[in-house]
């Protein structure tokens, strides 16, 4: 008695169908593909005519140019600005010198140390009473006020120098600061004198011309 042949597994038709689906891809892979070794430069570069535009097609770009202000050589000096600056410096010098002297005296209050109060008090009185009103007027009295303030600044500088040269019961850095403030005040008042054309530097005489001579010609070697 013979048995009937066994039936084929159900997955065989599915596998055959999948192989048929990938058949076109396998045929594409089998096609010969040629890749050049190098791409010529002419294929990558564009002609110059394609990159350049005519000059008429480019609008001119506006470039802002700042205008330089030229002051005339004979411009009048504004004495009101000099008067304002000198007045502030004058009263500022008086206040700073009084504060420094009072602080130095407070560190070592004694009868012998009270002498450091005398120069700042006298200087402040002169700066406020004498120089102050003269500096507040932008006129001929401005030179008088600047002269008084310069003289007082020089006196305060000498006073601070004496305090530095002698032993003091307070730190000498305070006297050095007082000398520095007095020097800056003197320099500022003198600068205002030159700015207001009250003082002028002397002009140097012209330098003599140096003699000129011709070098001898060297023979050609």
**pLDDT of 71 higher than 50:** no
Average pLDDT, the chain: 78
**pLDDT of 177 higher than 80:** yes
Higher pLDDT, 48 or 170: 170
Helix (H), strand (E) at residue 46: none
* Whole-number Å distance between alpha carbons of 189 and 195: 10
Phi-psi region of 78 (alpha: psi -120 to 50; beta: other; left: phi over 0): beta
Mean pLDDT, range 167-187, rounded to an integer: 92
**pLDDT of 159 higher than 80:** yes
* Whole-number Å distance between alpha carbons of 131 and 146: 7
**pLDDT of 1 higher than 50:** no
- With pLDDT > 70 as the criterion, what percentage of the chain qualifies? 65
């Amino acid at each position: 008695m013979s048995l009937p042949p066994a039936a084929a597994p159900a997955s065989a038709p599915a596998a055959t169908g999948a192989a048929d689906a990938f058949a076109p891809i396998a045929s594409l892979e089998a096609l010969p593909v040629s890749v050049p070794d190098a791409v010529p430069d002419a294929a990558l570069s564009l002609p110059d005519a394609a990159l350049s535009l005519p000059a008429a097609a480019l609008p001119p770009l506006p470039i802002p140019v700042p205008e330089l202000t030229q002051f005339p050589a004979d411009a009048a000096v504004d004495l009101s600005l000099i008067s304002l600056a000198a007045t502030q410096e004058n009263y500022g010098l008086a206040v700073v010198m009084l504060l420094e002297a009072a602080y130095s005296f407070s560190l070592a209050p004694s009868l012998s140390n009270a002498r450091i109060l005398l120069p700042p008090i006298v200087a402040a009185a002169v700066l406020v009473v004498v120089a102050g009103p003269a500096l507040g007027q932008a006129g001929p009295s401005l030179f008088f006020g600047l002269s008084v303030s310069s003289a007082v600044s020089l006196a305060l500088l000498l006073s601070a120098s004496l305090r530095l040269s002698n032993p003091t019961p307070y730190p000498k850095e305070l006297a050095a600061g007082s000398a520095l403030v007095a020097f800056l005040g003197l320099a500022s008042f003198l600068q205002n004198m030159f700015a207001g054309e009250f003082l002028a530097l002397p002009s140097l005489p012209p330098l003599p011309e140096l003699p000129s001579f011709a070098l001898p010609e060297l023979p050609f070697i």
